[in-house]
Amino acid sequence: AVRAHGHRLTPQRQIILDTLCEMGGHVTVAALYEQVSGRFPAIDRSTVYRGLDFFAELGLVRATDVGGAAVYEIAGPPEANGHAHHHLICRDCGFIDHVSGEAFNAFAGRLRREFGFAVDVEGLTIYGLCRECNEGAAA
């Protein structure tokens, strides 16, 4: 995909992408840098930032803002409805969950019917309490 866009996949970019794939989930720059620098000690933190920005521009990596910080994940193919998945983030413990576009499409449909408002729902992030924190707060 990188070469298809006319770019080179340098050894640094390759190790950043490989490590992000291996780590999975939602990864901070600090965590990614720690893993990458363990395998490629000469790499600089700014190279990791630039690599992530590069992959995000190509659509290979997705960044999600989690309250002022970004976490990164491999951008999989869009869901059948053409939208990216959405995130639920617990404001207490930081747990991040994925939600398919179906639930949000139903909400967008209701807004369109009731208000005539066409919603652009791409990569929505909603903050609240996860099940465990919510149950703990109720106890």
User: pLDDT per residue over 23-34, tens digit each?
Assistant: 987 899 999 999
**End-to-end C-alpha distance for the chain, whole angstroms:** 50
Q: Residue 61 — φ and ψ, nearest 5°?
A: -130, 145
Range of the domain at 27: 3-74
Give the start-end residues of each E strand in the chain: 61-65, 70-74, 86-90, 96-99, 125-128
79 falls within a domain: no
Same domain, 66 and 111: no
Residue-level pLDDT at 125? 81
Residue 85 and residue 122: Cα distance in Å, rounded? Answer: 8
80 falls within a domain: no
Query: Mean pLDDT across the stretch 64-69?
Result: 78
Same domain, 46 and 97: no
Residue-level pLDDT at 126? 85
pTM for the model: 0.69
Calculate ∠ Cα 84-54-24, nearest 5°. 55
For the chain, what is the domain count?
Answer: 2
The owner of tokens 């609240």 is: 128
User: pLDDT per residue over 85-131, tens digit each?
Assistant: 788 888 888 888 877 777 778 888 888 999 999 887 666 788 899 99
